[in-house]
A and B are shown apart, each in its own frame.
Chain A
């Protein structure tokens, strides 16, 4: 690239690379050259600090992560915005960008390492031009995130204070009670001009006054719950009682009659089913059906007529 002739008019004795190069180059090599030139110009050359690179929380709920892969090796320069490494969380693998320019000094957690808690130092970063050969690995310090929950626990949550007596602002007279008052209750107290609501016994939640209490106090209702009678036992309580009654009851007249008729019927059924018709045919007569017809035996071996179906309706036959 041709040097513009005006360069030689620059007061500084050396060829300043700042003006040689196109201004905003993104190459890290050129940028480090720029840094070098800047250092020449600077009066101070204070030693640069090594910064600890801790495991970042990529989401507010992340507590630990794994290193998927480092994109920069030890000694690599990076600029702000470059991806340093990929962190694997339980949800996704996320790129971590660098905030500033610098060099990777030492990598303390290698690729593939898992379950690194948030806040643990995973690398040491230095600024460009620093001596990175003798970086010490810092001792494990307690993570700052641990100290944050501790002061939170020390401050106990505000214990629920006892309810203050609410003063219901009324035009006529103030009604105050140690328990909060329902609007319906306070209206009743107002209307009937109850002077001392403390006298009324409260049957509501935590001793609150209910409308029924007030009405009972005033005599307008029989009791705080009125005619409503809550049953203590549910419907399940009735069934075992009846079963017990059934078992213990002695057999009375109708029960015995029931028993007799039942047994008779059962027997009758058995009798009906059990009536077997007598076998009236002999072996010869049955065989004669299948043998070739012969005239000699035809008359004597006539199969007897089987009785017709038994007479129906006479169920007492079997009993006799």
Chain B
């Protein structure tokens, strides 16, 4: 089996060893090679070798291409990615049946970034991202029912249904932020707090390629480098900032080099093993006290920017289909799992059932009560005596 994989790459050399374009990695998700035979036991680690184009580095060494994995961990990755994709698809269907209104930014295709991030960090690490946050919210301590309920605007939602997609928080996840690029300085601040409190944890501040040109991002870079903050700035480069392609928006599309003095790593965000390895490297780097690090994931979203964007006006459908068929993270991992004779259909089915159950639970939950209009504005106990409502006559006394 392992020799087979190696042979395959020799049979088709040109297709695989493509020199990547300066702006992105185009390797697919299934080019990892086995360097030893797969052990029978699920928890015994074995080494795999990533494709040599999985990483690029700036002012630092690239992470090692030899990764130790276990069967169980890969199965868990597969199951999590499938569940996250199902959840996003359920949100898509709910939006199309007009049960979710307003904003809905889905991360279909970008599952490897969230699952890879979560797999390599601990529960003490902090994560903050923008509005494409549903998988992060679930993985960082939320529940699927909570996220779907929040999108539907029901009481079971993680913000009681009052916040929506851009307002989901857990103790280790800072949202869910609506303003483009505003979460990066906040993330640097969280890293500052961690350093101040002398906690050995890493903070991951994620942003997209569209937000990478915001001024406050560079301000955050400067302060993080100046004060040696344990912050990893993660750029999710899905090649389109809403409808603008990266090369039309940025003069330098190698986002991992834009930290100036901050070293950077570019990783293939469509390969779960490479993503997990890159996050592990980044976390070790910042916890060792080397200051901030830039981590760029080259990934792709199949859907549009949000539910009001069909996603085909600025790119061809053939491109989307090509990415779906050649670089899908779930399919790539599925290939390895099938090599071991594990039934992925059962995992798919279980994930679908879990999501269907969560959708029913969320739909059954009631909408927030009228009294909840006045709560959660101020921290409990610090409210002013009065709060004015929507009209002049509507005044609430706490």
Residues of A within 8 A of B (CB): 4, 6-7, 9-10, 18-19, 22-26, 38-39, 41-44, 46, 54, 56-60, 79-83, 94-95, 99-100, 118-119, 143-145, 148, 151-152, 155, 157-158, 160-164, 166-167
Contacts and interface: CB of A to CB of B under 8 A. Distances in A.
Interface string B279-313: 00000000000000000000000100000101010
B317 A144 contact: no
B28 A145 contact: no
B389 A158 contact: yes
Q: Is the interface of A mostly helix, strand, loop or mixed?
A: loop
B393 A23 contact: no
Q: Which of A26, A54, A83 has the most CB of B within 10 A?
A: A26
Given A38-B345, A144-B99, A23 B28 contact: yes
Contacts of A82: 321
B344 to A, nearest CB: 7
A118 to B, nearest CB: 6
Contacts of A100: 89
B380 interface: no
Given A41-B343, A46-B349, A145 B30 contact: no
A99 B363 CA distance: 21
B292 to A, nearest CB: 36
A123 to B, nearest CB: 14
Contact of B325 (A25, A83, A148): A25
B338 A18 contact: yes
20 contacts: A4-B4, A4-B7, A19-B4, A24-B331, A39-B345, A44-B343, A57-B97, A60-B102, A79-B321, A79-B324, A80-B324, A81-B324, A94-B310, A99-B89, A99-B93, A148-B98, A152-B367, A160-B393, A161-B395, A162-B393
Given A60-B308, A79-B324, A54 B97 contact: yes
B320 A81 contact: yes
A54 B92 CA distance: 13
Given A19-B4, A100-B89, A158-B370, A59 B308 contact: yes
Contact of A41 (B317, B326, B328, B341): B341
B322 interface: yes
B331 A6 contact: no
Contacts of A26: 321-322, 324-326
Contact of A151 (B335, B366, B395): B366
Contact of B386 (A44, A56, A160, A166): A166
Nearest to B320: A81
Chain B interface size, under 10 / 10 to 19 / 20 to 34 / 35 or more? 35 or more
Contacts of B11: 4
A228 to B, nearest CB: 26
5 closest A-B pairs (Cβ-Cβ)?
Answer: A56-B96, A26-B325, A42-B343, A160-B393, A24-B326
Nearest to B327: A24
A270 to B, nearest CB: 75
Contacts of B394: 158, 160-161
A10 B4 CA distance: 9
A220 B63 CA distance: 85
B89 A148 contact: no
Q: Which of B325, B326, B367, B386 has the most CB of A within 10 A?
A: B325
A38 B344 contact: yes
A54 B344 CA distance: 28
B339 to A, nearest CB: 8
Contacts, number: 130
A80 B328 CA distance: 11
Given A24-B326, A24-B327, A119-B98, 5 more contacts: A9-B3, A23-B28, A38-B338, A38-B344, A56-B97
A137 to B, nearest CB: 20
A2 to B, nearest CB: 9
Contact of B395 (A25, A39, A58, A164): A164
A160 B391 contact: yes
B99 A44 contact: no
A44 B96 CA distance: 32
A161 B393 contact: yes
Interface string B12-32: 100100000000000010100
A320 B302 CA distance: 114
B1 interface: yes
B309 to A, nearest CB: 11
Contacts of A145: 97-99
B377 interface: no
B302 A81 contact: yes
Interface in B90-125: 92-93, 95-99, 101-102
Contacts of A155: 367, 369-370
B210 to A, nearest CB: 23
A181 to B, nearest CB: 14
A160 B396 CA distance: 10
Contacts of A9: 3-4
B12 A22 contact: yes
A10 B1 contact: yes
A118 B343 contact: no
A298 B26 CA distance: 131
A167 B385 contact: yes
Contacts of B349: 44, 46
B373 interface: yes
Contact of B346 (A10, A44, A160): A44
Nearest to A56: B96
B397 interface: yes
A22 B370 CA distance: 58
Contacts of A22: 12, 15
Interface in B358-378: 363, 366-367, 369-370, 373
